[in-house]
Amino acid sequence: MTKTRWTTAELAGERILDAGCGMGRFTEVCCDSGAEVHAVDLSNAVEVAAQNLRDRKRAHFYQADIFRLPFADESFDRVFSIGVLHHTPDTRGAFHRLVRLVRPGGRIAIWVYSTKLRAMLGSELLRPVTSRLPRALMLQAAKLAIPLYYVHRFPLIGRVTSVLLPTSLEANPTWRWLDTFDWYTPRYQWKHSDDEVVGWFEEAGLVDIRVGEFPVSVSGQKPPRPS
Ligand SMILES: C[S@@+](CC[C@H](N)C(=O)[O-])C[C@H]1O[C@@H](n2cnc3c(N)ncnc32)[C@H](O)[C@@H]1O
């Protein structure tokens, strides 16, 4: 998975938490790599995930809040959270909740929005309005992302349109639509720098901290228990 930089081979047989699974796209990758995956989400997207992956016996779904998860501390080999923590009231606090769930020697990886995204002026201006509009209306409006993908990729014109009305550039049209919906509707959308996020990993006592190429993606390991 690009944002965690974990290879599918190293996931086989691991007990993994997908914190904020949405409709389960990364849950699916982990399951198909041979992991036992526990996937949680605050919203009823988790029901869609459970339905989508109903034939995956190693996938387990829960509708739950990252701040109140029904799992024991140190009970996972790996925990990941992709595109979620910046939508909670407290990104750093949510991260520290997740670190508690990682076993000694286990790994955690997160991807949160970067401060670099503030350059997308259009959405900075529109979000105060779009995050208050009815969800059903926004779900339809977000479909604009499907054709806008081609406009945004035009030389010169695309540079302007992607600043004025940014939408997802996911190659898959359905993910492009849903990612754009996820961009314009959430109440919270914090943005963080690499240094800030690395600082959270350091203060949690994690080691082998790696910053990925896709900002801001950071992974680390909980030090193994001394033998
Ligand atoms: C942008 S989506 C990402 C979903 C998935 N990780 C993916 O990349 O496809 C963000 C998800 O975070 C979930 N979320 C937001 N706050 C949460 C919280 N406090 N606890 C659990 N899930 C949360 C939302 O319901 C939403 O499904």
Whether the predicted pLDDT of 2 surpasses 80: no
Domain boundaries, the chain: 8-113+190-221, 116-184
CATH number of 8-113+190-221: 3.40.50.150
Residue of 84, 85, 98 with the most ligand 1 atoms within 8 Å of its CB, for mutation: 84
Nearest Cα residue to atom 25 of ligand 1: 43
| pLDDT at site 206 | 98
Which among 98, 95, 105, 86 is positioned nearest to 183, based on CA atoms? Answer: 86
Strand, helix or coil for residue 221: strand
Residues in the chain: 227
Retrieve residue 123's tokens. 């959405």
Q: Which residues, listed in sequence order, are joined to residue 24 by a DSSP beta bridge?
A: none
Cα distances from 72 to residues 45, 134, 160, 208, in angstroms, run 24, 37, 49, 24
Residue 173 has pLDDT above 90, yes or no: yes
* Cα 41 to ligand 1 centroid, rounded to whole Å: 6
Under the banding of pLDDT at 50, 70 and 90, the label for residue 5 is confident
* Residue-wise pLDDT tens digits, 88-133: 999 999 999 999 999 999 999 999 999 988 878 888 899 999 999 9
Question: What is the enclosing helix (H) or strand (E) of 176?
Answer: helix 173-184
State in Å: Cα 71 to ligand 1 middle.
18
Please give the distance, rounded to the nearest whole angstrom, from the Cα atom of residue 188 to the centre of ligand 1: 11
Angle at which helices 173-184 and 145-152 cross, to 10°: 100
Ligand 1 test: best mutation among 21, 28, 42, most atoms within 8 Å of CB?
A: 42
**What is the per-residue pLDDT across 78-93, written as a single tens digit (0 to 9) for each?**
999 999 999 999 999 9
Residue 3 pLDDT level (bands cut at 50, 70, 90): confident
The arrangement of strands across the sheet holding 207-211 comes to 59-63, 36-41, 15-19, 76-82, 102-111, 217-221, 207-211
CA of 182 to the centre of ligand 1 (A): 9
Pairing of strands 217-221, 207-211: antiparallel
Structure-token pair, residue 194: 């690499």
How far apart are alpha carbons 1 and 18 in whole angstroms?
Answer: 13
Of residues 213 and 17, which shows the higher confidence score? Answer: 17
Strands (E), 112-151: none
Ligand 1: which residues within 6 Å by Cβ? 20-22, 25-26, 40-43, 45, 65-66, 82-84, 87-88, 182
Q: How far apart are CA 137 and CA 157, in angstroms?
A: 27
CA 20–ligand 1 middle distance (angstroms): 4
Q: Which residue has the least CA distance to atom 7 on ligand 1?
A: 22
What's the average model confidence in pLDDT over 168-180? 93
Average pLDDT, the chain: 94
Question: Measured in angstroms, how far is the CA atom of residue 223 from the centroid of ligand 1?
Answer: 27
User: How much is the pLDDT for 121?
Assistant: 84
Quickly state the pLDDT bin for 28 (edges 50, 70, 90).
very high
The DSSP annotation for 130-196 comes to HTTS-HHHHHHHGGGHHHHHHHHTSTTHHHHHHHHS-----SSHHHHHHHHHHHHS-S----B-HHH
Are the beta carbons of 12 and 33 closer than 8 angstroms?
A: yes
Q: State mean pLDDT over 143-165.
A: 93
pLDDT (0 to 100) of residue 84: 96
pLDDT in tens, 50-81: 999 999 999 999 999 999 999 999 999 999 99
Rounded Cα–Cα distance for residues 24 and 87 (Å)? 17
Q: Nearest C-alpha to atom 10 of ligand 1 is from which residue?
A: 84
Cα 80 to Cα 20: distance, rounded to the nearest angstrom: 9
